[in-house]
Amino acid sequence: QPCGRSLNSILGKSNLKFAGMPITLTISTSSLNLMASDCKQIIANHHMQSISFASGGDPDTAEYVAYVAKDPVNQRACHILECPEGLAQDVISTIGQAFELRFKQYLKNPPKLVTPHDR
User: Could you tell me the pLDDT band of residue 1, with boundaries at 50, 70 and 90?
Assistant: very low
Range of the domain at 41: 21-108
Sign for the CA dihedral angle at 42, 71, 63, 102 comes to positive
The pLDDT tens digits of the residues spanning 22-47 come to 999 999 999 999 999 889 889 889 99
Q: Is residue 5 in a domain?
A: no
Q: Is residue 79 in a domain?
A: yes
Mean pLDDT lowest for which of 10-14, 52-56, 86-90, 109-113? 10-14
41: domain CATH number is: 2.30.29.30
The pTM for the full model equals 0.76
Where in the chain does DSSP place strands (E)? 23-27, 31-36, 42-47, 51-56, 64-71, 75-82
Q: How many CB atoms lie within 10 A of CB 96?
A: 13
